[in-house]
Amino acid sequence: MSAHPVELILSGIKRESPSALLAAVSLLCSTISLAQEPVPAGIQSIEPTDHVSGNARTTEAYSILRPLIRINIPSHDELLVGEPLVFSGTVSNTSLASLEKVEAALFNIVSRQWLDFSSSSFSSDVPVTEQAELTSDDEGNVIWNLTTGLPQGRYQLNVRAINQDGIRSRDKDNHPWNRQRFFVEGSDTQWPEISFENPAFDGDLLPLKPTLSGLANDAGGSGIARVDAAIKSLSSDLWLSSDEGTFASTRVNLPTQLTPALGGAQQWSLDTHLPAGRYRLLLRAYDNAGNRAEDPTTASVLFVRHFRITGNDTVPPTVVSTRPLHSRTVFIGSSPRFEGVAEDPDSGIERVEFAVKEMETNLWLDPDTDTFSLDSRGIESALLYPSDDGHTVWVAQAHGFRTGRYRLSYRAIDNAGNRSVNDNGGIWNIIQFDVSTRCVGC
């Protein structure tokens, strides 16, 4: 076991000069003071998990203080100009263990990638460190410097100091890196351009598990930083949350893969595991200068495309009404409730639509106003519920009825876009029913 620092100091007294003896006594007093008083503000105590020696974790008293590192250049949100860029700061090491090194990592805030110093490209998902150069000034202070070139953009510099005991610095918030955000000046003020290849047109039909793709180009010269995609299922109102096909209730921006294309453009692509259904694709693109692509037709930073995945399902779904069950059904009251069952074993039911016609006036129900005032079908979607036997139960409530005879039209549509057909080959199932607003014999 290593000797206690007090023992080290006392053993050295016999070998040192009077001046060294005085310094040793001063250090002994400060060590005893540190053991009795709280650690001063701004200096972090060492946790046992921070100090690793070989394969064993140790907590020797002589490593009671962390090295402290500061960033002088850049300052917060400073705009840097020139090439190459030089980052610098100072290190204070108050422990008995000597300073070993200062590590730095650079993060591109726009592309969300870390700089790979070996390739000079922002291509890593995890921090890639580079050792800073260490020098001393005339007063004995340790100065660290890092020299590198960066294109126009917004970045974050991350630095940390490590002493020979493996103890790492922490910032004032106890974060393992000292961080500073900054800008690099450039001339790119043009927003990038983006286009679709798959789906090429709004409403395109795609196979199962499609790869969505397109092109992104930056005429301003800073280059495409990233293209994000968000995909919403129009049948469930849920958002794709991973490329494995899971969904979430809130929008999730998925990074697309960028590969070089002709003419200096970048091809963006996203592999998906989407089941059959209708979807909305939202795209957003950024260049390295932080400019966002803008749709010239909508002046929006979101590019929108709708598509449907059909898969191999070409069989129409089936749908029946259980209420009204037949033409002798009589509803009591002005708000009849319709119910039924739909089934599609391949891609599943996307929606069930219905419309109601008043036979006396030959007018259709307007679902927005609950009045019979339309010359053509006022189509409304029913609510869908899964049943224990694997079917889909549909339920619809309508309002604005008076005593009389009515005709209910209903149909089912599966996630591949196939529509149900009736016994005569038509696209609507039709059943008549009566409504009485008074309960006779109640």
- pLDDT, tens digit, for every residue of 208-220? 889 999 999 998 8
What's the gap between Cα 292 and its chain centre? 17
193-309 — its CATH code?
Answer: 2.60.40.650
pLDDT at position 16 over 60? no
Q: Do domains 193-309 and 318-436 have the same CATH topology?
A: yes
Domain ranges of the chain: 1-37, 45-184, 193-309, 318-436
**323-340 residue pLDDT tens:** 998 888 889 888 999 999
Q: Which of 358, 326, 324, 342 is nearest to 419 (CA)?
A: 342
Kindly write down the DSSP assignment for every residue of 60-124, as one continuous string: -GGG-B-EEEEEEES-TTEEE-SSSEEEEEEEEE-SSSPEEEEEEEEEETTTTEEEETTTTEEEE
Amino acid code (one letter) for 51: H
Mean pLDDT to the nearest integer, 364-388 = 93
- How much is the pLDDT for 48? 32
**255-264 residue pLDDT tens:** 999 998 887 7
The domain over range 318-436 is classified in CATH as 1.10.3370.10: no
pLDDT at position 18 over 50? no
* CATH value of 45-184 in 3.30.300.30, 3.20.20.70, 1.10.357.10, 2.60.40.650: 2.60.40.650
Select the more confidently predicted residue: 258 or 59: 258
Threshold 0.85, pTM exceeds: no
CB 356 within 8 A of CB 407: yes
pLDDT at position 58 over 50? no
Give the β-pairing of 78-80 and 178-184.
Answer: parallel
